[in-house]
Amino acid sequence: MKVPQKPLLWFHKYAFIACILSAGSLFSFTAAAQEFPKGWVFPLELGQGSVTTFHNPPDLYLGSLTFIPQYTLIKSRLRIGAAAAGAYTNKRVYGLAGPHLALMLTDKPKVLSSTVLNVQLTAEHLWGTKEQRLAGGGLTAEVGQLATFSLKALRDYRLNAWWLQAAIGVNLFMKKPSENPFDSVH
C-alpha cells in the first residue's frame, strides 16, 4: 500500500530549493570577484571597548568611529592606508590619525569560485589630539567585500594604557561588479 506524501513535506522540499537558489543569486555578484582586488576600499567602522591599564580600576568605556581608506599594493595580499578616527573615552572626544596596514591571512571558504570572507592581520600607529600615541593591531574579517568585523588591541605607549575594542563596519563606495561575471574567466 502506497502512503500519500503530506503536502507539508512538499512545501519544505520546495522551500529548501528556493533558499539554495536565492543564496546562489545573493552571492552571484561576487562570482568573478577577487579578494583584495587592485584599487581602493573605504571601510567605515563603529567600535566599542575599553581603555585599561590592567592594574588600576576602573576601566574606561571606549567608543569610536573610524574611516580607513586603503589601497591594494599587492593584489590578493597587502593593503596600505590611513586611519582617521573620533574616539570617546574618559568623558571626552578625541581625534586620532595615522597609517594602517592590512595583510590578508586567508580567504576561505569558497562559494561559486569566489571567497565569502577573508581574514586580515592589521597594524596601526595612531597619534591623538591629547598626547595619545597608539601602536598595535588586530584581526579583521571582511565579509563579501561588504562588511568588516574587527578585534583590536592598541598600546598607548605615552600614557601607559591599552585600548581594546571590537568594531563592525561597512565598505563605502562599492565598485559595481562587471555586467558579465565570466569576463575574467579565460
User: Does residue 28 carry a pLDDT above 50?
Assistant: no
| 4 or 98, which is more confident | 98
pTM value > 0.75: no
Say how far apart CA 82 and CA 66 lie, in whole Å. Answer: 10
What mean pLDDT value characterizes the chain? 81
Cell numbers 530549493 correspond to what residue?
Answer: 17
For residues 131-137, average pLDDT? 94
Residue 94's DSSP bridge partners are 87
Say how far apart CA 52 and CA 40 lie, in whole Å. Answer: 34
pLDDT tier at 23 (50, 70, 90 boundaries)?
very low
CB 69 within 8 A of CB 81: yes
| 52 or 181, which is more confident | 52
CB 67 within 8 A of CB 56: no
**In this predicted structure, what is the pLDDT of residue 99?**
97
Distance from CA of residue 2 to its chain's centroid? Answer: 54
All structural domains of the chain = 33-172 (2.40.160.20)
Among 125, 34, 45, smallest CA distance to 72 is for: 34
Greatest pairwise CA separation for the chain in angstroms: 83
Strands (E), the chain: 40-52, 60-67, 70-74, 78-89, 92-106, 110-111, 114-115, 117-128, 133-143, 147-156, 161-172
Among 174, 173, 151, smallest CA distance to 164 is for: 151
**In this predicted structure, what is the pLDDT of residue 98?**
97
Question: Which pLDDT tens digit goes with each residue over 112-121?
Answer: 656 678 899 9
Residues 6+ apart with CB under 8 A from 145: 30, 33, 35, 41, 171, 174
